[in-house]
Structures are given as structure tokens and as C-alpha cells.
Amino acid sequence: SADKAHCWHPFTPQERWCAGEHIPLMIERAEGVWLYDSNGNKYLDGNSSIWTNIHGHCRPEIVEAIAKQAATLDHSSYLGLGHPLASELAEKLVAFFPEGTLSRVFFSDNGSTAVEAALKMSLQSRLQTGQEMRRQFLAFDNAYHGDTLGAASLGGVNRFFSRFKSLGFETNFLSSLEELSRIDPTVVTAVVIEPLIQGVNEMRPWPEGMLARLREWATANGVHLILDEVMTGFGRTGTMFACQQEKVVPDFLCVAKGITGGTVPLAATLATEEIYSAFLGGAENAFYYGHSYTANPIGCAAALASLEIFEKDQVFARLPEKISYLAKSLAKLESEFSQIKEIRQCGLVAGIEFEKGLGEKITLKARDHGLITRNILDTIVFMPPLAITTAEIDFAIEAISRSCRFCLA
């Protein structure tokens, strides 16, 4: 097939595809929480595509907004030009935070560029305010912040990033907050973290209260706090943004993935007025960073339509029931299979960790029972659209259970 002959898929050993060990399913159509392949098979999307499709697939309101925008203003440069939807979206994003905190929105294309922009803004703002000493970043072991060079140098997942780390920013890695005691904060520009839960680190939640303590430390030491809410943003953990659960407001907030409801690429880096002010003062202080599709109108239209659905569907009123239903279903699954080492959950994000060697097998076999999801090492990720019903949760858990029975027999 052309896929086998010409396509290069990420995060997958290429030879496996060639050997026919993993035949990529060809997904042709989607609706709600369901994906349909070229053979007409139907699968529940247990991974929300790639943690993107907040309201499920092909939601008519978002589809319409995209179509209307494509016919009205498809694209326009954001260099010295604006358009009404970007202004409206920026206003809506900052409105989630207390007045006088995050007030500036810098648009880009994806999670990696949203983080990359925050890192460069932090560093450049130091150079422009007489704080040249502060050039080091702090990040956490096993963190994932994206694949651009700057973001990769703060990536703690060594199997992905060890080749590139030395080419990026100077970074000190921490395994926990306790390690802050060995850090000289006067040379640190920013600390970067995935709030509440690390995603690519097999869905590992942080201890409760950790984020608030990190905020305190950063404030006390004049260090910027950069929150990477690329995965956790837009309702994933039960609130619009994860940081709201610990009443933390960062200096930078990076969002992408779910911002458009999983339709077209868009990302945003929110920053405080204090940071923005370091970039005033003419060409010398400008932020020379941007992409062709920065603030693209179709992305903004999709994002605005997606935000409206949160209201219309009463997403936050309905989530608690789904989250506790999922917790109960996972506990039952755990009691059935002794090969499950640990279940981790934060909102509608779950990781089911199996004994070594089982994660991929069980994940692939679950396709035969109508569930597509993803394993990270031996942890099966279950992160469905927020629109999932309890009956659909039952369907997904049953698919995992059947796959386990097959693989463990």
C-alpha cells in the first residue's frame, strides 16, 4: 500500500510496519466517540484521537463554524494585521483567570510551539530587564513538553530526548519538589511543569498540593512558573484548566490540543502583563517568533465554537458523575486481573498499568473488541472525549477486559 511504501509514522519503529506486524488501521470517518475504518468497522476512540477531541468527533456546531469561516476569511497574516475572531478568542481565554493576572495571548500552531514560545519569552524578558543571570530552566524527570528543540531540551523522557537535550536550553531536572533545596534560584528563569498529572510519563498524578507549593516557591524566588496544559487544558481533569484545582495562576500558560475541540491546529501561550511589558521599547525588544498560520482564523472559529459547547452541553455539571463512574469501573477491572499493577486517574484521564510486556498486546487486542487506544510502555491510556456516556464507558472497559481475558489466558 502507499502507506507502507511512502508514509512515515511518528513514535513507531518503522520496520514493524514493513514486517506487517502492525498494519495501520485506515480511519476514514468519525462521529461522536466513534471512529470508522476502511472496512466499515467501528471503534470507540479511547484516546480522543491524540488527547485532542474534547467533545467527540465532527460536532456539527464546530464543523459549521469551520465551514463558515473557510468561506468568509480562510486565512490572513497576523503580522501587523488582526481579525475579529482572534481578538474574541484571546478575550475569552484570559477571562478564565483573575483580572490583572494572565492578560496577553500569543497564538501559535501546536503544543510544542506554545511551550517553545513561553521558554523564549521567559529568557528574552530576563535579558531585557537586566536579569541576564537567569538563564537556566527547571523541568521534571519524565516530563513531556513537545518535540521542538527548546521544548525537547526540557523533556525528561530520556528515550525520546537524550539525543537532542544538549542542543537546547540549559536545564536542571528535578524528580520532586524536595529537590528544589539544591537549586540556586538566582540563576533560574523559569520552572516548567505539566500540572496535576504527567501524561507521557504513563499518566502519573503529582501529590495533592504540589502545584500550589511550586507556585509559592517560584513567587518567593522571582522564578517564572510555566504551566504546560497542552494535555490537561479544556476540561480533561474536571475543571477548564488543571491549575484551577489548586487555585494557581502561572506566569505562562500553554494550551493547544483540545483548544479547537480536536479539529484544526491552534495553540496559545498566555502571559502576564508584566512579562509583556519587557517586550515594549521598539524593534530591539520585539519578540521575533511566529508561524505562517499563527492565529489562523479557521482555528479561532473552531476554538470559539468549542468553548460554546462547554456551556451548551453543561460539560462541567456532567463531568463529576462520569469521572466517578470511570473510577468505579476501573476499580472493578483491577479486582478482576492480578496483572494490573496500578490504576491512576485524574479527571477523565486514566492510566492502567500492567505487568511488564503486556501493555501493547492488550491495547492492540482491544481493537478486536472495538476499542482504539494507546499504550505508553505497559500503561494503557484511557482518555475518551468528555462527551462519552456511562454506557460508552462500559463498552470501553468491557473491551479492555475481554482483551485481557484473551491475552492472559
Binding site members: 111-112, 144, 228, 257, 290-292, 374
Contact (Cβ atoms closer than 8 angstroms) between residue 189 and residue 126: yes
Does position 116 interact with ligand PMP (CB under 6 A)? The reply is no
Among 231, 253, 362, 397, binds ligand PMP (CB under 6 A): 231
Lateral strand order in the sheet of 188-193: 102-108, 267-272, 252-255, 224-228, 188-193, 136-140, 171-174
Does position 256 interact with ligand PMP (CB under 6 A)? The reply is yes
Does position 264 interact with ligand PMP (CB under 6 A)? The reply is no
Among 34, 43, 97, 144, binds ligand PMP (CB under 6 A): 144
Residue ranges of the annotated binding site for substrate are: 144, 257, 290, 374
Interface region with ligand PMP, contact rule CB under 6 A, candidates 94-102, 154-162, 179-187, 223-231: 223-231
Among 145, 224, 236, 365, binds ligand PMP (CB under 6 A): 145
Does position 199 interact with ligand PMP (CB under 6 A)? The reply is yes
Instruction: Look at strands 267-272 and 340-346 and give their pairing.
Output: unpaired
Separation of CA 23 from chain center? 27
Does position 194 interact with ligand PMP (CB under 6 A)? The reply is yes
Between 144 and 234, CB nearer to ligand PMP: 144
Residue ranges of the annotated binding site for pyridoxal 5'-phosphate are: 111-112, 228, 291-292
Angle at which helix 297-312 crosses helix 315-336, to 10 degrees, equals: 80
Between 351 and 370, CB nearer to ligand PMP: 351
DSSP-assigned states of every residue in 135-204: -EEEEETT----SSHHHHHT---HHHHTTTGGGS--EEEESSGGGGGG--GGGEEEEEE-SSEESTTTSE
| Residue 11 CB burial class (10 angstroms; 0-12, 13-18, ≥19) | exposed
**Residue type, position 335, single letter:** S
Least gap, CB of 81 to ligand PMP (angstroms): 25
Least gap, CB of 118 to ligand PMP (angstroms): 11
Which chain residues interact with ligand PMP by CB under 6 A? 110-112, 115, 144-146, 194, 199, 228, 230-231, 256-257
